[in-house]
Amino acid sequence: MKKPITIKRILKIIVGIIIFFTLPTALLFGYIYFKYNEPLPISKPNPEADALAKDMLEALNYKAYKNTDYIEFTFANRHHYKWNKLENKCQVYWKRFQVNLDLSNTKKSTVLVGKQTYNGIEKDQYVKKALDYFNNDTFWLVAPYKVFDNGTTRAIAKNDAGEKGLLVSYSSGGSTPGDSYLWHLDENKKPKSFQMWTSILPIQGFPSSWNQWTTTETGAILPTFHDLSFLGLEITGIKAEIDSSKIFYPSKKSIKEFKFKSSVLKLDELNNFKELIKSIDSLRLQNIYPVLTFEYKGKSYKVRNFQSASNVIECYKCKDIIQVYNSDVNQCDKNIISIEDSFKTLEKFYLEKDNKKRILLKVDTDNSIQKTKEILVKLLEIDFKLRKKHNSKHCFEIQFNPY
């Protein structure tokens, strides 16, 4: 005879089902918690840690990563990214959503739902979600390259097992500031794993592998998989590119990290060389350094200017400067050679130790802006060749001569 179905029996069945599904999870969590949970190591920032961090960056070819302008990847087969590092923008894709993040000003970000532009009441929520995805997922891609970000401190610390590593703490930045990571490096100073102390994880000191790498087309070294004990995070479809259509002088870093107040001056919007001089003088009188931008033969140029303010009188020794007047290269009021054949002359001038490598440029031809661009491009090409040939960081200090 079958037992009658009562409320008590139904409750027993429900409780049994809950225990059946939750007990293994609870046991697994308890096992992982007691195995991995440990307090954050206490250690003070020190120069030894900075040196170790620099060794790690060198092992990962940090210079190649810095010069990489574009990275595309898919994170955990859920979120896809087209990250334009050069313009500080990223297209984030998930499900039916596409958010074109402007990382410099998220208010300028745009949202597409089902490939249709969306400006509804939830737009800001989608932008925030995309930014949170970006902060989390790109961290799993490029975390080692962020050890000197603003708001970070570095220390040498040991975990509970006595393993020494590089402890990096973030007081700001990202979606969860206050997190810390203890990097464990191999004999070549390349990361092999880290432990995490974060606000979003209930287990502190939880480890993840960092030992599966790929070298991209640009030379940047990026991870393809992270093993987190009970789960794995796969990063697929990694592509990296350098935008050869954009030229920076003296370098991308020197313009991006220029410490003084600067302003973009668009050469293509000016009528002639005299107007260029007036525009530069106007900015320099306000203690603003102009950065010239222009297009030439399908490439975009951004050139830092070394001009002094118009109310500052500088005295030069003629041997310490090179004057380029239209297409002629002059020194001490004597014509030396044409700009087209000036490599050896400029190389000799470049290698002299006692000058500032200052070049004064003046153009008074009919189409003076076009001529100015041609001369600038030629000077930049020569400068790049000289720096590469002589493994030097020095550059020509190009100024525009009003006299």
Rounded to 5 degrees, φ, ψ at 44 are: -90, 145
**393, 375: one domain:** yes
Angle at 77 between CA 72 and CA 81, to 5 degrees: 25
**94, 229: one domain:** yes
**84, 221: one domain:** yes
Q: Note the pLDDT of residue 380.
A: 92
Structure confidence by residue, pLDDT tens digits, 95-137: 999 999 999 999 999 999 999 999 999 999 999 999 999 999 9
**56, 186: one domain:** yes
Classify residue 365: in a domain, yes or no. yes
Contacts of 254 (CB under 8 A, 6+ apart): 248, 304
Give exposure, 33-59, as e/b (b: 16+ Cβ within 10 Å). Answer: eeebebeebebeeeeebbebbeebbeb
Q: Note the pLDDT of residue 226.
A: 97
Classify residue 3: in a domain, yes or no. no
Q: Note the pLDDT of residue 23.
A: 45
Distance CA 124, CA 137 (A): 20
**140, 283: one domain:** no
**222, 291: one domain:** no
Classify residue 20: in a domain, yes or no. no
Classify residue 101: in a domain, yes or no. yes
Q: Note the pLDDT of residue 365.
A: 84
Q: Which of 241, 267, 283 is the last residue of a domain?
A: 241
Q: Which of 241, 260, 280 is the last residue of a domain?
A: 241
Question: Which is nearest to 130 in space by CA: 141, 140, 138?
Answer: 138
**214, 282: one domain:** no
pTM of the model: 0.72
Work out the number of other CB atoms within 10 angstroms of the CB of residue 311.
8
Distance CA 151, CA 166 (A): 16
Q: Note the pLDDT of residue 309.
A: 59
**224, 104: one domain:** yes
Contacts of 373 (CB under 8 A, 6+ apart): 267, 294, 296, 301
Structure confidence by residue, pLDDT tens digits, 16-55: 555 444 545 444 445 466 567 899 998 899 999 999 999 9
**81, 153: one domain:** yes
pLDDT tens per residue across all 403 residues of the chain: 444 556 655 554 554 555 444 545 444 445 466 567 899 998 899 999 999 999 999 999 999 999 899 999 999 999 999 999 988 999 999 999 999 999 999 999 999 999 999 999 999 999 999 999 999 999 999 999 999 999 999 999 999 889 999 999 998 766 567 899 999 999 999 999 999 999 888 889 999 999 999 999 999 999 999 999 878 999 999 999 988 888 888 887 777 766 667 788 999 999 999 999 999 888 888 888 889 999 999 899 999 888 765 566 667 777 888 889 988 998 887 888 888 888 998 898 888 877 678 898 999 888 899 999 999 999 999 998 998 898 888 888 898 887 6
Classify residue 4: in a domain, yes or no. no
* Helical segments of 105-174, H only: 123-142
**In the Cβ-directed half-sphere of 367, how many Cα atoms lie within 13 Å?**
6
Q: Note the pLDDT of residue 308.
A: 67
**306, 224: one domain:** no
Q: Note the pLDDT of residue 179.
A: 94
What range defines the domain where residue 253 resides?
246-400
**192, 72: one domain:** yes
Number of domains in the chain: 2
Beta strands at 70-75 and 79-84: parallel, antiparallel or unpaired: antiparallel
Classify residue 15: in a domain, yes or no. no
CATH number at residue 213: 2.50.20
**260, 309: one domain:** yes
Q: Note the pLDDT of residue 29.
A: 47
